[in-house]
Amino acid sequence: MSFNDEAAKLLKQNVQFMNHIRELVDDHKITTTTNAGLKKAADGVLWKLE
């Protein structure tokens, strides 16, 4: 996964978005397959942005 530098900057500056992504990554109650995939995707986005 790659980000356009300007898009990455805008996402990093969006505090609400970043907090939501962190909540998804840190949610230990996620158990369904669909939600587990969402958690994995959120983790990938967070990894790329931080």
For residue range 6-22, what is the model confidence (pLDDT) as tens digits?
988 999 999 999 999 99
pLDDT of 28 higher than 60: yes
So what's the pLDDT on residue 35? 80
**Do 20 and 29 meet the contact criterion of CB atoms below 8 Å apart?**
no
Element (H, E) at 41: helix 33-49
1: pLDDT confidence band, cut at 50, 70 and 90? low
> Domain residues of the chain, as ranges?
5-49
Q: For residues 8 and 30, give the distance between their C-alpha atoms in angstroms, rounded to a whole number.
A: 26
CA distance 19 to 22: 5
- Please determine, for residue 45, whether its predicted confidence score (pLDDT) is greater than 80: yes
| Torsion of the alpha carbons at 42, 48, 49 and 50, rounded to the nearest 10 | 100
